[in-house]
Structure 1
Amino acid sequence: MRSGISLRADFDGDGLRRLARRTKDAAQARRLLALASIYDGGSRSDAARLGNVTLQIVRDWVMRFNERGPQGLINGKAPGPQSRLNDQQRAALAQAIERGPTPYLDGVVRWRLCDLAQWLWEEFRVSASEQTLSREVRAMGYRKLAVRPKHHAQDPQAIEDFKKASPPQWQRLPLERPGKRIEIWFQDEARIGQKNKITRRWARRGTRPSAPHDQRTRSAYIFGAICPKLGKAAALVMPWCDTYAMTQHLAEIARHVDADAHAILIMDQAGWHMSNNLVVPGNITILPLPPKSPELNPVENLWHFMRDNWLSNRVFKSYDDIVDHCCDAWRRLESQPWRVMSIGRREWANGF
């Protein structure tokens, strides 16, 4: 018969009993008391009876205790099955997700889990279910998110130049207008009509939820502007999108600018924004955005928020009904200045 494995010498029976009294883990306390009996000269059989286990399990406790001390007697989490992907394959998968599919090669314009599973099989001969692949890509930090539109012909360098060059210009403006501080405003328009948008909604898995959708074409335009730093907002609901409507909106914005301030109004280069017939109030200076750069304007994000929460999934009875709902949605937004600050904040324009 082979001799038992000796316990480590830096503990004793009294010390293990004190640890057993302090621990909140019942399994660890039972194992500590069993090993304490061995320290006191008891046999391994006595320890097995005290712990209500077999001699082999007592031997396992001794080995774990000798290796890691009292912490070795705490139940650990089972390692589970080995991952189907190694680090190299995860890195390649991340690159494929970032790069996106090539339509004429992959046959799709956006990755679905089934497409990524097929890609893994073709590249590495690794078979993974959609559920497994979903856990992997989520663990890598990826989520299915709404896409922000980006013009195919935009100039990225022009966007970066605008972010860098505009704030110094705003800082110099008070020198030209002594005693005036600067308010940064953003402006845009949104068409709201009977042929309305349908948004995502919560529903039971396996079902296909529905939402009302109208095919009529009556519509109105929300002319909206926000000052994210101060949480202010100004808007008009107009039947047309033209120079006259824009002039009225500029007058509305001017009424919201503080008396001791001058507004820098940032907006895109639509025809009615740049018209020579546009009447610009004296307390507003228009700063046009670079062409084809809607992501620089946070009002675009406000339209998404308002549609998702207040204006989509509706059937409007008439033009007046459209106007009423648009006005109600904007008043809700005005009553939540923190929402304007949160959605409209831009790091490159926040300090001015």
Structure 2
Amino acid sequence: MAAAVGLRADYTAAQVRALAKASRHADQTRRLLAVAEIYDGRSRTEAARVGGVGLQTLRDWVLAFNVLGPDGLLRGKAPGNPSILKDTHRQALTKMLEKGPDPAVHGIVRWRLVDLMHWLFETYRLSISKQTLSRELQAMGYAKLSARPRHHAQDGKALEAFKKNFPARLAEIAAHEAAGKAVEIWWQDEARIGQKNKITRRWAKRGTRPSAPHDQRTRSAWLFGAICPALGKAAGLVLPTCNTKAMTLHLAEIAQAVAPGAHAVLLLDQAGWHLSQDLVIPENITIVPLPPKCPELNPVENIWQFVRDNWLSNRVFKSYADILDHCCHAWNRLVSQPWTIMSIGTRSWAHGF
């Protein structure tokens, strides 16, 4: 039989019981009380009974206490099996994921787990399961996400330059067009809402494919929307057409929503009816066109997604009047939630200076 392991001499039974009383961890308290029994001179069997464990487990507690003191009796997480991937493998995976596959070389347009498994085996002779590789990628901060569409002819430099120069442009408007008035930043866009409606995602049982009604008729209306995220305000119109006359009506609606004595800087894309010479622009609005082919700069695009996903999708509109009613209802619900407008529409490059 193995000899009993002695306890370290820098503690007493009273001190260990005081530590057990002060501990906020039930398991540590139980182990400290068992150790205190040994300090009091009781047998290891009696101490094990106090701790509710066997003699071998009590021996492990004593060894941990001798090395780390009371901290050695805290419940630690089991280390488990060592990871198959090393830091060098993770760094190589990161480069592969960030760069993406080359269709001409790899024959695919996106990385799948099975492709990365084959690559790891061919490059490093590592055999790893899909489940393990998935956990490793999640631990590295990766997840399978839907890609945001980007126009193929987008000028990334122009996009970044617009954001960088926007504070200077805003200051210029405040000094001239606004003439010292308070300045409100607004965004504007249009969305076509029609009987050929969107089908959005929904919760359903795994392995099933839920269905939703989908109309094939073509009646539609245009929802003109503008938001001021800093103040949680919005101005919208539902109109039958999308042209310069309709845009003039919407500008008049936005002008009424601007605070009295304030001036609005209205950011919008470069659609023909936005920049037409026939467009009537109210005196309290200055239009600032966004760079071409950069819809991600306009938060109203995200407003449309929110409105469709929550109030307009998965519906069959009976008539044009029904479309108008649902568009008005959805927009009014958005207007009643200024915090939603602030959350979706705020942009650090436009409001964070």
TM-score, structure 1 normalization: 0.90
1:268 aligns with 269
Give 1:24 deviation, angstroms. 5.5
Alpha-carbon RMSD: 2.5
Answer with 333-342 or 106-115: which moved more. Answer: 106-115
Give 1:18 deviation, angstroms. 3.1
1:198 aligns with 199
Give 1:210 deviation, angstroms. 1.6
CA distance in 2, matches of 1:28, 1:60: 13
2:286 aligns with 285
Written as runs of structure 1 = structure 2, the 5 A alignment for 1:36-185 is 36-44=36-44, 47-48=47-48, 51=51, 53-176=53-176, 177-185=178-186
1:213 aligns with 214
Question: CA separation of 1:12/1:278 partners in 2, compared to 1, >3 Å: closer, same or farther?
Answer: same
Answer with 294-303 or 43-52: which moved more. Answer: 43-52
Question: CA separation of 1:20/1:168 partners in 2, compared to 1, >3 Å: closer, same or farther?
Answer: closer
CA distance in 1, matches of 2:262, 2:293: 30
List per-residue Cα deviations over 1:108-133 (Å, max 9, x = no partner).
33344444444444443434444333
CA distance in 2, matches of 1:351, 1:30: 53
Where does the alignment leave 5 or more consecutive residues of structure 2 unmatched?
none
1:252 aligns with 253
1:13 aligns with 13
Answer with 98-107 or 43-52: which moved more. Answer: 43-52
Contact 1:234-1:256 within 8 A present in 2 as well: yes
Letter in 1 for 2:291: P
Contact 1:196-1:314 within 8 A present in 2 as well: yes
List per-residue Cα deviations over 1:326-352 (Å, max 9, x = no partner).
111111111111111111111111157
Q: What is the DSSP-based 3-state SS (H/G/I as helix, E as strand, rest coil) of the residue aligned with 1:272?
A: coil
- Report how many aligned residue pairs link the two structures: 352
List per-residue Cα deviations over 1:184-227 (Å, max 9, x = no partner).
11111111121211111111122212222222222211111111
Where does the alignment leave 5 or more consecutive residues of structure 1 unmatched?
none
Question: CA separation of 1:222/1:117 partners in 2, compared to 1, >3 Å: closer, same or farther?
Answer: farther
Question: CA separation of 1:231/1:7 partners in 2, compared to 1, >3 Å: closer, same or farther?
Answer: same
Letter in 2 for 1:245: A
CA distance in 1, matches of 2:338, 2:55: 69
Question: CA separation of 1:34/1:349 partners in 2, compared to 1, >3 Å: closer, same or farther?
Answer: closer
Answer with 11-20 or 195-204: which moved more. Answer: 11-20
1:317 aligns with 318
CA distance in 1, matches of 2:283, 2:194: 34
Q: What is the DSSP-based 3-state SS (H/G/I as helix, E as strand, rest coil) of the residue aligned with 1:264?
A: strand
Letter in 1 for 2:124: F
Give 1:67 deviation, angstroms. 0.7
The sequence identity of aligned pairs, in percent, is 64
TM-score, structure 2 normalization: 0.90
